[in-house]
Every structure is written in C-alpha cells, then in structure tokens.
Structure 1
C-alpha cells in the first residue's frame, strides 16, 4: 500500500521499552559492546512506516543525518528508501538511537533489530555505543521521537529534548586531551578501562597497566606537580639554572603586592600562586591603583591565599608542549577577542563568535565559549568601547587579557617556527621541574627568535597541560601529540595485554580453569582467575562469590599483579552483560548439555551452545579455540573461530570423532587425544605429524586412578589450552601431575576425605549431565574399593539436589540418573529455592527417582528427603558405615566441609564444645557463619530419630 492510500495513523502511539541491557563486551548479538532494548510496539505493530502520514518527513526534519544511513541496501539513502517502502518502528528506533549518538560526536554504524520469539509485537533492538549513559539516553529519546512523529505532536519540543541529550553527552564524554590519548591507544590495540565518571582511565591490562587522568600519567611525579603548582618555587628553580624568568615575589596582602610592584618596577602581573587555567591573572598592571583593584580578583582564585607579583613581559603568548623531555608542539595563544565589522555591537559579535559549533562550555569542545564578566566589560572600556557599542570595521577588541583556551582564546600552530634555542630552553625547564608531560608558557615578541636576545621569559610551567590547542588549532596544522604520550607509557614493542584464557561449558569449566591456572603458576605466572567460587589472585582468594561474570573479569584485569588471566565464563554473565573484555587469546569449551534451559529465552541446547560460542567468536586471528570434538554442538563452533583450533577427544582410534580429528591433523592441525596401550590410557598431544606423549591418565591425581573420566577430559582441555599458550610440554605434564582435587586446590570439586572410615566425596554436581559423569565415577571408584577388599560389597550413598530455577523435567531427570548409581539417596535443596516453594524442587527430584524405580532401571533401595543441606549430609553420614562411599553433591561446599571436618574430629556430632574442636580453622563453621544444625529448616525424613537410624544402618550392613 502506498503512503497516499494509508489509513489515519493511531492517535495514541504506545511504543515503549520493556527491558534494557548494557553489554560491556562481545555478546550474543554483537562482537563489540552494545545496548540491547526490548521494545513493545503496541498498536504500532499494525503500522509500518509507509502507513504513517508525515512520519518519515518529520523524522528527516529532526535528524537530516538519517539520509546517510545505508541500512540493508548498502548505500547512503538506503534507510530512507526503507522508510518510504515500509519498515517497523522497532527497526526505526535502532537507526534513531545510532543517529542521536552521531549528533553527540559518537560515530557508530552497527545495529540490528530482531523479533522476540513467542511475543508478537516485541522486538530486540541492538545498537553500538561508546558511553553507556549516552547510549541508553539515545534509546529512550529515540522511542519518544517515534511516538511524537507518529502522533504529529505539536507540543513535542524537539530542540529542547535534543539540547538536554547533548548536554548529557557533553557531561559524560572524555575531554579533548583524554580522547586524543585514547584514540591513539585504540589505534595501537591498547585496551582501556574507564575507572570513574571523569577522566581517570586505565590503559593496558594487569601488570602492564598504566593510568592517565587527562594528560597526567602514571609516570608523572607528584613532587613535580607540587613544584609546578608553586609558581614562586618554579621561578626560583628555573632562575637558578640560568633560564629566563620574570622577577617575582610572593605576598599575602594588598599592601605587600604594592610594595613588591614598586620594587621590581611597573608594569607587573598579579596572579594566585596555586591558580590554573589563567583564572585570577591580571597582566600589564601599570600603577598602584590597578594592582589594588586586581588583588581581590586574584585572591578569590587562590586556595592558600598566596599571590605572586612578577614583572610584566610584553609579547605574544606561546605554549610549548614537552613530552618525555622533548618538544612536541608549540601553539600561539590569542586572547578572546572580536573584530568589528562596522555593523554589530560587541555583544552581538560575541554571540556570533559563540555560535561557532566548535565552541562549547568548559573543555567539552575544541574551543570554549566567550563569557562576559565584569572584568570583560572593564577591559572593553579601557580600550575605549562599550559592550553595546559598534566598533569600527577591522578593529580588534580584546575580551580577555590572557590567551588561555578556557577563557575563550584561540590557538595558532607554531610548531615548526620555533628557534632551536627556545626549544632547548623549554625542554630544560620541563626536565628541571621533573614533569613527563609539561606545558611551558613563553612570553616573547616572536618564538622564531632567541628569547635571550629579543627579551622574553618563561612565565609558567604547567602540569597536565591541555592538548586541544595542539590537536585542534584554530589556525594551522593539527599536531598528533598523543603518540609521544602513549610511547612514553608503552614504548614500541612493550606489551599492553595479559594473555586471557576463557573457559566455558556446561560441566567441568571450574576444574578446567583451576588446572590451567595451576599449570601457569608452575611457570612463575601470577595468575588472576575467576570462577563460580570467587576471584583468585596468585592463589589467594580475594573475593568469595559467584565470580564467573564480566564484572569479575574486569576486576582481574585491573589488578596490577596479574600477568596471566583465566576466566571462567558462565551463561548468565554473557546474557546479562556480555564478556568483560574485548577478546580472549584462548577459548576453551568443555561441553554443552541441557542446563539452565527455559531461562532468559534459552530453550534449547542449540541456543545454549550459541551463548557459549561467544568466547570462541572473541578469539583473534592469532588465538586458539580448544574444543571438545566429542560434542557435536561444541565441534560446530569451529566455524565461528577466527583463529586456530585445538580439538580434544576421549574417543578411541577408528571412531568418527577421531577420524574427524585425523583429517585436521593431516592439514597441520592440533589435538589432544587418548591412546589406549597395554599399560593404560595415555594423553597424547598431536600437532600435524608430531605426536607427543603427555601422561598416563591413571597417574594423574585428579582422575582417582582413572575412575573420574570427566577429569580426564578436563585435564585434556587444560593441556590443549596450555599447549596453545606455548607452554613447554614438561611444564604441562608437571602441572597435571601435581594438581589434586584437594579442598585447597579445587574447593567443592571432587574433594575426598575420610570421615570415620567412610569415604566422602564433596562435589558441585547439579544437572543431569553432571550426574551421569558422577555416576560413572561412583561405579568405577566402588569397583576399585571392592576389588581392594576381596570384592566385598560397599554401599553407595548420595546426597543430591536440583537448582530451583531448572525445569521440572530437568529436576526429575537428575533424580532418575542418580537412582541408577546409588543404593541410598538423600534429597536436599539449596538455601535459595529460586522462586519455588520450599520442598517443590525436592519433590520433582524424588518423582524422577520413583519413575526410574517403576521402570525397573534403578539401583537405589532407599530414598530420604532432608531439605537443609548440612542436615542432609549429617543424615547421610548416620546412614553410612565404615568402608561405604558417600557422594555429597552440595551448593555451599565450605559449609559442608566444615561440618565433615567437625564430624571427623568428634565422637559424634555436637559431642564437644567449640573450644575442644581440633578441626581445620579454615573450615570452622563459626568462621563461616554456620553452626551445626543451625540451617533453620525442618528436615523431612522417615528417620528423624538418630538412634533408630543408626540401628537401621547397622542392620543394613
């Protein structure tokens, strides 16, 4: 339908934002950081743009830049074509958000809009951003623009809305100096992290990091800054070195200023000792009256009440920028002024000058607007004019005495005009003060002539000098002075990044991360690691939390000790914020199975694999992805990797998976495989035609003699990651041989301890795939134990529980799998039921167990339900006899280990006073805030009487 045939547009358009999310790194929608809005079109779902009269014309009137959007047509104007042909307002809001950011100076092009599955009228709107506050504000304003344009709302004040948005962008944006340094850093592939809402920025990662605040750097001496801030001391030091400086002295009173001025001779300059940006500076004061008149102005700008009176040097104002002791740029600073045209008043000329789009408030733009003050009006009168008077054509009227850019001055580039002697003087001044980045202010008739001959002097040395007069001169060529600053912080060839290994998958990612960290620690690396248990820096737990998200990753990269990072990356963090960094050198994906389905729109294993794939997509061309070739969903991720692939497989030679790998090896690929031999299975690293034996699986402590097959897979994944990081073979071997599943190396993951003769294993297993792996481990370990005691049968007791936010059938499947491997099952629940009523998750687990029993596939003979985790473990211990195998799959492993430690050192639970316990203080329940039996939950069990339970257990054995 053409626009001429369109019906009347809806009177009350109701496009609204349902949800908004900020991705701070690569994510499922974009390789870069992005804003994600879920919008509901409401009634506008029935109205594409070609059915909205005047809609397109209104948008183009407000934002003419939309005409340059290429959209899917691949040419400028493509988006406007789509508007005329008809496109939905969700897609339109994406382009509006990008264009609004463009109006604020953020050049962004990437965006996409996709319908939300199963929710008609709702759309995912994704677009890039530079500053998240500006990006979110752009999305919100885009929605208001759409609704106003559809309704043709005459009361909608677009100029006011746009001004508010631009002011927000200006408040949050980096200043010109900081931005120049960051642009140079990005061009050299140096990552940065903004550390506050102002200009404090970290360049580089971990041990390689440097910091800047505007143009002050990590290498800027605090002592040098103090000296430069003391103008009297600065003059004394420069004068003692024979450099030209004006005569000066410091005073605190108005009478003292007059006395000094009389002594050194008029004209003089009066300024605050600790001032900056030219505030409070009075120049060319020719008599006592002028000194007294200006003194209060200078005093108002002084923090300590100390003023400097110095001889006035006539000439032009030049700023010399010195970086690392070398002159990099020189700008002539011309004070704020207007030039008469014979028609306009001075006030009108100021307004015309301020209308220049390059002028803004403060330092937000390359030029600053001229402000009219009482001092300005007095200066104009001294020149024989009034603010409402019309100066003759061609007459220059000064509006400020100093040439500072912050008072509205302009700059003229003079970098290549300076005399070598003047350059030498400026460089020597910066070295004497000790500043790595210094602004040396010269006053002299001409910078191209030696100041010692023409009569000039250094009037000031500035720490943290502004760059905009050099990068954006009003007249002349811009100087790219950010490069020497970045060279100062990161000399050519210096590393700015730490290697990052990202590990993801459904099961095994925590153990794999710990194995990799352990291997790298053996090389002397100071490893920063994130995991579901917390943040570990150089083997020290610095934060106990689920730290598998992007915020934790940034914490590691901000730590100045870290020179190698291992990041466990969970599904939730990717969906919530993306990755916490721009790329990872190695990505490891252990497996993908049905877990967390039904959450955040992830309903299938294939969709879950797409989430895990983000870390593979974040691998650069010189990086590696370590992929499980035995898992089809993981194996297919190879197509999304820009770098090389290292496969690992536990399948025997001749299997389809091994044939797949062999084909890649013939092309020079890399893999970690298992080779069966008469002495057992050998982990072998393959690279093309090379074959390197690594270790026997049964000799690795983490595999429990080969019983823990899943830890064999984890060890192979860790070996592949270490091999991709060019770790020598013997160091990989040594790392795997010394890695154990003790609580101190791998807390909460297959920790085994002996409690009163019962072999207790504590693990985090919480999904069906993990339970299958644990079940296989239990079968293998039980066989080993039974063989060691002449095939006497031992009981297998399991403490299991599902997570409340899993689907009902997933919880039932967990119970059904466990029923096939354990003789006795005690069903528990996490402290956090995650939205379910207490006991509901356990009921679904029990349902699965009973369904397995009814199908005749179960091994289990006894089922108890004890909801509190610690009570469930205590109950399982009561049901156990010496020699039995108890596997406790728990959520709060520290609390459970504390209870087991207490049990192992007590005649019976609670028999000793706290002061008599001899357990490990690191596992002290009191220190963990947990007391035995203090979980606050009721136990539901057929055995609430401990004596009866103990008697029953004895009879069973």
Structure 2
C-alpha cells in the first residue's frame, strides 16, 4: 500500500483586510522618515504562512519579478524570496508588495517593517516608506488585494489591468521631469521641500529662506517678463531694438490682414498665435496667400486673445538655448516628430513602433511624448509623397510635425558644447532683454557651431518656464545637470535654507517652556513662529486659535515667509497621528514623562509614553542638541536615542545622585543647567565643561512668584538650556527670563494672576494629576510666603475639571490631590465631554475628593457646578479679601473675560452678591456653628474680664 501525502488545506476564503490607515509625514514612532502605517487583519490567513500555500511564491514572482531583488532582513539579494519559501506571514508579504509596486511606478522605496500588534492575534502593523502619499496608499490597497488573489483567485480581478491603472494614477500625480530634476538637486543639498498643491507648486527651504517653484518658474521669475515673453510681437521688437537677429514680423486679427502682412514680410512666412506655447498652432514655410488663409484659423484657435503673428520663415535647424541666471546652461537641437522607414512597415505601423518606446508617454509624464497622428500630421505625410498605409523606403525620414517641440513628439540632441561663443552671447543677451531668470531661447539657424550673424538665422521665440526634459533626458547625447544652476540661483552656495527648529515635548510644562524660549529669542530680534495648544503664533501675533501642537501646524509655521526661528510644541497625539511635521529639529526639549493620556492609542504605560515622546530626540541631527530633564529617569534614558549633544537640566541639589551624574559628565565637556543654593537664594547656573556661569536668581524671576512656582523654575532651566544651545548670549538669556512673567499677554492660561475683591485669583490650565501635584506645591509655598509670621487665615478655593478621555482612576486621583490643598473644591466639566455622559466626569471628581476628605484631607466643601463660567462665578463669590482662588480652566479666554467683568463691578463699588455670606468658603450650617462658638467664646472672655476686675 502506497502512502499518499495529503495536499495542504487551503483557506476557504482569504480575508486579509486593512483595519486602519495612517500617513506619517515626518519622523514617527516607527521610522525616522515619512511612512505609511496600515493595520491589517489576517483573519483565517493567520494560520497560513507562505510555506503552507503551494505555488504562492512562484505566482507572486511571476507577476512581480522585481521582488527577487528584495533583501529583507537577510541583507542580500533574494533574501525575501528565501523567507517566502521558508514561510512568512502574509502581512509581511503585503509590505514587500507595496514597496515593489511603488518601484514599478518609479519611486525607489526600500524601507519597510511588519510587526504584530501587541496583544492582538492576527493583527499586524505594516509600515513602509513612500515618496508620493497617494501613490503609497494606492500601493498598499493593491498589495492587499493581490495577496488575497494569490491565495484564492478572484474572478473579476485582473492584476495586469489593476497594475496599469495604478501606474496611470501614479503618472498623473508624479512631478514632471523639470520639477523632479530641481527637487532631486535640492534634496542632494539637504534643502527641505514641500508640495503646496496637487500639481507642480513646490516650496524649497523653510520660513524666511523659502523659495517657490512651479515647474521652471521660480520665486525670482518676473511676472512682467513672463507677460513680455508671452507677447511674441513685443518680444521681437525688444530684441530687434537691441540689435539681435530676429525675423520680420507683424501682428494681425483678420485673414486679409494676415495675407497683407505676409506680402509685406515676404514669402515664405510663418503664421502663429501671438501668445501660444508648446508649438501649438504654429504653421511653417507658407508659400502663398492660400497657405496663409488656411493657416490663419489654426493659429487663431490657439491664441488666447485672438491675435496672430505673421513673420518671415527662417530656414535652418531648430535649437533651444536654456539660459539660467543670465548664463547659458544647455543647448539642444530639436528634431520634429518623425519615423525612419525600414522598407517593411507602413507609416502608421512605424508610428506605433516608435510610440511603443517605454520612454514615451502622454503629455509631459515621461521624457518623450508619444507622436500624435492628427489631420495636420496626415496632410504633412501626404505632402512628402506618402499615405499613412504606405511603406516608405528604407532610411527615409518621414516628418509628422513641422515644429521640433518635445510636446508634439519631437526628439532632442544635446549640443551644449558645440555652440559658437557668438551665438551663446546672443542667447544670453536675449534673456537679459526680456528679464527672465530662466529662459528658453529658440534659435533657427543652419548650424549652431557657426556665428548666426554670418550664416543667417534668428531668434524666433523667447519662452518663460522652459521645459528641462530635452536637456536632462536628451534622445541623443549626454544629459545636462541643469537643475544645479537653478538651485544655485535660489540658494547661492553658503546660503541658508532651513530655520532653526526647537521641539518641546513632555507631559507638563511644554507650553510655558516654549513661550519662555520664544520670549528669549524675540529679545534677540528673531521673528519667532510658535505652535502650542493655544494656537499658532507668528512674531507675537496669534494667527490661528486652536490646539496647534500637531504636525500640520508645524508645517504652517515653516511655510510662513516671516519666520526665522521656529518653536514647536509637540504633543503625544500629533506624533501618533502623523509624526512630526518636518524632517528634523535642531534642538529637542523634553520636560518630563508623567502619567497622562495613558490607555489611549496603545500607550498603556509610562515607558510607552516615553517611547512616543522620544521621537523628537531621535530627530536631532549630529550637530543638534537635546535638552533633557535629568531628574526624570525615563527622560534621562533618552540620551541613548540622541545623535547630537546632550544639555542636562536638574532641580536636584549638589551632592545628590543626579547632580553627581551631571557633574561627572560636565567634567568630560557636557553642558548642563542646574540650581546652586546659597544664603541669598537659588542661582540658576549654566555649566559647560569645567566652567560655571551664573545666570539668575530664581526668586527674582517673575514667573516663579518668588520661587514658589517650582514648576516654572524647572521650565526656566529647560528654556535656558535650549536658548544656550541655540547660541543665545548669556545676558540675553538672563534678560529674557527676568522679563518673562505669567501675565495673560505673555502666557495665556498658565498661572495668570488677577486681583479681584482684594482676593488673589489664579487661572491655570492644569488638567492631570502630576500637574495638580505641582500646582498644589505652588499653593502651599505661595500661601506660606504670604502669611509669614501672621496668624491671618487665608482660605484656598479651587475649581477643577478633568478631560473625559482620561482613565477613571486618573480623574479620581486628580481630585484626591486637589483635596489635599484646597478648603473648597468647585467641580466643573469641559465643554467637550469626549464621549462621556454629562456629569460623568464630574461625578468621578466628586468621588475622588470625598475619598480624600474621608481620609483627612484639607477640603471641607465640595460643590458641583458643571458649566465652566457658572463654576467660575461660584468660586469667586466664595472668596473674601486676602483669600486665594485657583481656577483650573478649559477655555481660559472666556474665563478671563468673565473675571474682567467681575473686576469692572468691583471698580464700580457694587457687591458681587447681595446675599454673600460673611465667610463664603464654608457651608451655611458651618457658618452658624462657627458663629455660635464665637459667641460662647466672647461670653467666656467677658465673664473672665469681669471676675478679674472684681478681684482687683
């Protein structure tokens, strides 16, 4: 009996699907560069690696043979094929297919990785690089469909058709040869670029250094010069007035006018649209009045203004001279669209054979354009003695167009080093006369190697925005690297293209730190662009009011032409959503890593959060800096992810373990910002190597409220470290910190102080437990400093709220901490409940506060007022002169407006409330009990006084 090995079972229905899609447009948690992130579900295919799918690998290689070149983790060509035959999961296969599809479209992408989703069976993270976002996304979708098809054939799926559709789409979104050449040159010089629309409008550089291009038009291209070049009659007259060789020409609007002009000019003539381009509507070598009458409507149809130019016909070859910045950059001979007879094929067949050249495409999508057979081409072939279905003799050239434009199917021959110097001088002078920085001068002459003035010939056109592909991809000859002089024109050697970027991240303190850095740099005369949770600020003007701590806001700042220094507040959400909005930051600042936003988007622990925040540290180049909080162990560990120099900052006193860590590194040349205590107070000291440079007393910085606001002391250390790394002089750093306060003008929503009814009211954005810890420390220190040796009782009234997307326990913890520092807590809710029911978050806060109260916390009164402005009124009305009110707000602008209204009432001498209790921070029952106790005490003191008097 013969044993038969059963065929491996196949999945009944492949169901590889895309669960979610993200596009990272900068450094991110997965890659140092932009990438696409697909979360895919393998479904039943989780049980079927490629080794269990007979024939899968062979069919894949048959459809996409380029995959044979993938190295994968093996590090050598064919490494991925080895993995396929050994057995790898289909999510990994989809990643490589997406990369190969992009390569088929001409996008050389090789970066990718596939990782299992933590805690989820069958779910995988697919990450792969891209050049064009739309092409990358389409590649991912087609890759998933192809993998499913290879597992089990899909009846209505034809991969060849799908690939053709994909490539066509990629061709439509791709840059043309001219734009692509300039961008490639810019990238080689480390000049950043940004696509500004779906077409060819591109920004090179950042901020104040930015330049724009659209194809070969640049920021320096004169609009007036473009208009002049578009008017062929005016161009001819200007060039003629400069003594340059030009044909005789007249402009006309009617057929009869064209005939009369042709007679005056003298036959043969050329009839062409006055403001046309790409050779459209140009009729050459017209020998008679009848020819002119036939040509006129053709030229008129391509003229935007209906004006036609009649000029003398210059015989010779067609040359395009490219002038950049007034200097000749390249010359190409343009040969009209044609076919060469082989003695076997008809003219039509020869056209099809020529168009089959992979270098030919539609329009400007490829280096050559397909020859179009229209009525004019058929007539031209007939004039040469052939019909389209006739076989021309071997080696016979049959023209299908009269003009040599590439857009009509012509070819180019490089003649850059063949031109006579006199001809080069004429072309350069023509560009200068018109005023174009990039100009295409069309020469018609017998031979470009001989002087035009001697052999005859003329300049027939001057073109703005000339195409580069005839020079970068000549059909015959060596390509010319003409993008270099264009980029030289925009960014001369040694010119800056980037603005310094400071990225500030952390759980708490990043907004205030960003503002401190901006204030210091503003004092240096810099035009600072800043993103923060409050909006986008350009040179101290709030231009967009929104949470602008994400990558899109960063790109908006870098596109602003006034910005010469950028400060980006980088939040966790933006990094997870899109990555950074730029390719690198010169300075990264990490304030701290504390419990906030945990349990969201796969960030479940402090270590996960630190990994996300460290993206800004990884984006520091070798000549950059990372300003790290040495007091935070998770931040301290980020030094291993930094390619640049570390600047430490610490609040720890000398002799502590952290200070020993810092001092040991400073002895080896590192930089640090630390506190040095003395009998006069704490001094902020900058350390570099063995040098120590005193900067400022902490109690003299307005933002620290005499040193009580310890969180702002830490923020000042971080800001000083970043400004020092940015090259700011010490006295400017010192001046910046001494003049930065927490007024609403400089730091809206961050410890803003308002005096109201002789009570001190503070407005702050505190919204998480670690922030409340710091705020509570401030309240304790500030009240202690105010009271001094006085017995005056200062009541503390706090208003708190919590974001609804935080964990229940985090919301309770926020209230528990607040209960330890305030006598009265007014509980409110944000306008945006973040998917919680009304009152749900407030109930959790009340629960946490009552837990703390039962454990002996300070709080005595807990009140719930859900509306924020109503809660503000409640808290303020509870205050007596001398009390401290801390308002932890969501909409700080509205709250400050409400407080201003209260202030106006106070100035008018009116009471806030007619029935305001005498000690409004207590319940009425407690007030009554205190009043009764006070009366009993008064009676006791009176009796004791009387008894004492009687005994005397």
Coarse TM-score class (shorter-chain normalised): over 0.9
Q: Deviations over 1:678-705 (max 9, x none)?
A: 1011000000000000000000000000
Asked if the contact 2:587–2:624 (Cα under 8 Å) also holds between the matched residues in 1, the reply is yes
Q: Deviations over 1:138-163 (max 9, x none)?
A: 10111111111111335421121111
Q: Within 5 A, what are the aligned runs for 1:127-276?
A: 127-153=128-154, 155-276=156-277
Question: Cα RMSD (Å) of the superposition?
Answer: 1.8
Asked if the contact 2:878–2:921 (Cα under 8 Å) also holds between the matched residues in 1, the reply is no
Q: Within 5 A, what are the aligned runs for 1:384-533?
A: 384-533=385-534
SS at match of 2:604: coil
- CA distance in 2 between counterparts of 1:205 and 1:26 reads 17
Whether 2:548 is the aligned partner of 1:547: answer: yes
- Structure 2 residue runs of 5 or longer lacking an equivalent are 932-952
- CA distance in 2 between counterparts of 1:290 and 1:951 reads 100
1:911 CA drift (Å) = 7.5
> Partner of 1:876 in structure 2?
875
Q: Which moved more, 1:469-478 or 1:251-260?
A: 251-260
- CA distance in 2 between counterparts of 1:948 and 1:630 reads 45
- CA distance in 2 between counterparts of 1:910 and 1:186 reads 67
1:907 CA drift (Å) = 4.8
SS at match of 1:744: coil
SS at match of 1:702: helix
Whether 2:857 is the aligned partner of 1:837: answer: no
> Partner of 1:826 in structure 2?
826
Asked if the contact 2:798–2:822 (Cα under 8 Å) also holds between the matched residues in 1, the reply is yes
Q: Deviations over 1:609-667 (max 9, x none)?
A: 11110110000010000000000110100000010000000001111111111111111
Asked if the contact 2:70–2:77 (Cα under 8 Å) also holds between the matched residues in 1, the reply is yes
> Partner of 2:82 in structure 1?
81
Choose 1 or 2 for highest CA Rg. Answer: 2
Asked if the contact 2:795–2:921 (Cα under 8 Å) also holds between the matched residues in 1, the reply is no
Asked if the contact 2:24–2:37 (Cα under 8 Å) also holds between the matched residues in 1, the reply is yes
Q: Within 5 A, what are the aligned runs for 1:60-75?
A: 60-75=61-76
- CA distance in 1 between counterparts of 2:201 and 2:292 reads 39
Q: Which moved more, 1:105-114 or 1:290-299?
A: 290-299
> Partner of 2:935 in structure 1?
none
SS at match of 1:906: helix
> Partner of 1:926 in structure 2?
none
- CA distance in 2 between counterparts of 1:437 and 1:20 reads 42
> Partner of 1:781 in structure 2?
782
Q: Deviations over 1:895-943 (max 9, x none)?
A: 111111111111599979xxxxxxxxxxxxxxxxxxx9xxxxxxxxxx9
- CA distance in 2 between counterparts of 1:132 and 1:581 reads 15
Q: Within 5 A, what are the aligned runs for 1:365-764?
A: 365-764=366-765
1:952 CA drift (Å) = 5.1
Asked if the contact 2:751–2:762 (Cα under 8 Å) also holds between the matched residues in 1, the reply is yes
Asked if the contact 2:520–2:733 (Cα under 8 Å) also holds between the matched residues in 1, the reply is yes
Q: Deviations over 1:558-590 (max 9, x none)?
A: 111111011100011111111111110000000
1:885 CA drift (Å) = 0.5
Asked if the contact 1:6–1:51 (Cα under 8 Å) also holds between the matched residues in 2, the reply is no
Asked if the contact 2:823–2:921 (Cα under 8 Å) also holds between the matched residues in 1, the reply is no
> Partner of 1:927 in structure 2?
none
- CA distance in 2 between counterparts of 1:834 and 1:909 reads 40
> Partner of 2:123 in structure 1?
122
- CA distance in 1 between counterparts of 2:124 and 2:7 reads 24
Distance 1:762 1:262, change over 3 A: same
SS at match of 2:654: coil
Asked if the contact 1:6–1:52 (Cα under 8 Å) also holds between the matched residues in 2, the reply is no
> Partner of 1:336 in structure 2?
337
- CA distance in 2 between counterparts of 1:541 and 1:695 reads 30
SS at match of 2:788: helix
Q: Deviations over 1:4-50 (max 9, x none)?
A: 97623223211111100111111111100111111111111111111
- CA distance in 1 between counterparts of 2:36 and 2:396 reads 52
> Partner of 1:918 in structure 2?
none
Q: Within 5 A, what are the aligned runs for 1:94-109?
A: 94-109=95-110
Whether 2:13 is the aligned partner of 1:24: answer: no
Q: Which moved more, 1:763-772 or 1:873-882?
A: 873-882
1:265 CA drift (Å) = 1.3
> Partner of 1:901 in structure 2?
900
Asked if the contact 2:797–2:921 (Cα under 8 Å) also holds between the matched residues in 1, the reply is no
Asked if the contact 1:903–1:909 (Cα under 8 Å) also holds between the matched residues in 2, the reply is no
1:347 CA drift (Å) = 1.1
- CA distance in 2 between counterparts of 1:53 and 1:254 reads 73
Whether 2:927 is the aligned partner of 1:891: answer: no
Q: Deviations over 1:382-411 (max 9, x none)?
A: 001111111111111101100000001010
1:855 CA drift (Å) = 2.9
Asked if the contact 1:6–1:50 (Cα under 8 Å) also holds between the matched residues in 2, the reply is no
> Partner of 1:800 in structure 2?
800
Q: Which moved more, 1:515-524 or 1:259-268?
A: 259-268
Q: Give the TM-score, by structure 1 length.
A: 0.95
Moved over 4 A (4+): 3-6, 907-912, 943-954
Q: Deviations over 1:729-786 (max 9, x none)?
A: 0000000000000000000000011011110010000000000000000000010111
Asked if the contact 1:879–1:953 (Cα under 8 Å) also holds between the matched residues in 2, the reply is no
Q: Deviations over 1:245-293 (max 9, x none)?
A: 1111101111111111111111111100000000011111111222111
Asked if the contact 1:795–1:885 (Cα under 8 Å) also holds between the matched residues in 2, the reply is yes
- CA distance in 1 between counterparts of 2:5 and 2:731 reads 77
- CA distance in 2 between counterparts of 1:658 and 1:613 reads 23
Asked if the contact 2:380–2:400 (Cα under 8 Å) also holds between the matched residues in 1, the reply is yes
- CA distance in 2 between counterparts of 1:50 and 1:347 reads 50
Distance 1:732 1:948, change over 3 A: closer
- CA distance in 1 between counterparts of 2:749 and 2:215 reads 45
1:849 CA drift (Å) = 1.6
- CA distance in 2 between counterparts of 1:87 and 1:487 reads 49
SS at match of 1:17: strand
1:167 CA drift (Å) = 1.2
1:67 CA drift (Å) = 0.5
